[in-house]
Amino acid sequence: MGLLLCVSGCEDDEQGAASFTTWGEAYIEDEIPSDPSGEAGYVDGWTVRYDKFLVVFHAIRVADQNGKVAATMKGSMLVDNTIAGVEPQGNRTKS
């Protein structure tokens, strides 16, 4: 699972936006395969396929390197990462 964050405009007098996306990667969206070599899966012949892979994001804060918060996301997002592709989860604007 990954979370991508893009932010612009972090200065006090500027405006900007942050977009949050999430995805499950191939192992979550498809399956963890068997792989006798052990490079990309299970060596014992097993595979794992998820019906659901639920992740909750709560109270996300965008801050600068000093910890000064520029924007926050109120509430929570519940995401099923078995759904293929990058899913936009919300946009937040600094004003």
Quick: pLDDT tens for 44-73.
Answer: 999 999 999 998 988 888 888 999 988 888
Q: How far apart are CA 16 and CA 7, in angstroms?
A: 7
Rounded CA-CA distance 95/84 in Å is: 33
Quickly state the pLDDT bin for 15 (edges 50, 70, 90): confident
Strand stretches in 1-95, DSSP E: 2-7, 16-23, 54-58, 61-63, 69-72, 76-80, 87-94
CA nearest 83: which of 25, 20, 39, 14? 25
| Single pTM value for the model | 0.61
The mean pLDDT of 72-91, rounded to a whole number, is 79
